[in-house]
Amino acid sequence: MRPLITLITDFGLREYFVGAMKGAMFSIHLGVEIVDISHQVNSHDILEAAFTLRCAYSAFPARTIHVVVVDPGVGSKRRAIIVATSNYYFVGPDNGVFSLIYEAEAVERVVSITAEHYFRKPLSNTFHGRDIFGPVAAWISKGIEIGKFGEDISDYVKLTPPKVKKMAEGAVQGMVLHIDKFGNLITNIAPCDLAGVKSAVKFAVAGREVPGLVRNYSEGAPGQPFALVGSAGFYEISALKDSAAKLLQAHRGDEVMVRWS
């Protein structure tokens, strides 16, 4: 199997950035296969990049190298790192973008990338995707052991993702974690947060009630938002052929309450 490298960035598709980054990787390993997960992460949005990675990474075969470049601290003293788990490698800035991976995977090693002879030259202060992260991923895909890139570290940056709170008897509080292009509101509430609940549940977003809970989109009533478990494994608020975000005037970060009797 050809080695796989995936890319998540906030570069967009208008500029030359994605193409130049791929060119740098192909210059090192022409036999690698590069898969674009997304280049449309909102600019500098580390949490959105972390969420995108969390939803997509495990769909790939073991030993895939996932590269994430959402890097508002490029050129500063923030470190470049390699995260190794039992199944995958992750390459990117040490700014918390891998925080959801630290929760989901058993981390075996985290290496601070300092071996400059693996970097593209000349090294830009503003484009480490092309000059550091891409080349390092390509060298890993050729079989270079990650210890060659620098020293192991244990003080890597971990953001604290928003947690679901258990409220008074019969309620949990979460939030809108992400809004996708269809206007679906993906929450941070998972089925395990409602384990043991046997009565009907009611969702509300920022105080606005969501009428029903369904199994799939087609069961929803037109023009009415509803809740269901989405493909990311979290409850989401959706609408049949419509935008739940518009119907509920909802935004990322809005409170989501689930109540039952």
First vs last C-alpha separation in the chain = 53
pLDDT digits (tens, 9 = 90+) for 30-71: 999 999 999 999 999 999 999 999 999 999 999 999 999 999
Q: What is the pLDDT of residue 40?
A: 96
CATH class of the domain comprising 4-149 = alpha beta
Q: What mean pLDDT do residues 166-174 have?
A: 89
Sheet with 89-93: list strands edge to edge: 33-38, 4-9, 65-69, 89-93, 80-85, 107-112
Q: Tell me the pLDDT of the chain averaged across its residues.
A: 95
Q: Which residues contact 244 (CB under 8 A, 6 or more apart)?
A: 183, 184, 185, 225, 237, 238, 250
E-state strands within 147-234: 165-166, 171-179, 185-187, 201-205, 208-210, 212-213, 226-229
Q: Residue 168: pLDDT above 90?
A: no
CATH tag for 165-260 (out of 2.40.30.90, 2.40.10.120, 3.10.150.10, 3.30.1490.20): 2.40.30.90
The tens digit of pLDDT for each residue in 4-24 reads 999 999 999 999 999 999 999
Q: Which pTM does this prediction carry? A: 0.92
**Beta-bridge partner residues of 222:** none
Of 66-70, 166-170, 186-190, the least confident: 166-170
pLDDT of amino acid 210: 94
SS3 2: coil
Q: Contact, 101 vs 127, CB < 8 A?
A: no
Tell me the residue length of the chain: 261
Is the pLDDT confidence value at 261 over 90?
Answer: no
Q: Do domains 4-149 and 165-260 have the same CATH topology?
A: no
What integer pLDDT is reported at residue 101 of this predicted model?
A: 96
**Confidence at 173, pLDDT banded by 50, 70, 90:** very high
Domain boundaries, the chain: 4-149, 165-260
Q: Residue 162: what pLDDT?
A: 85
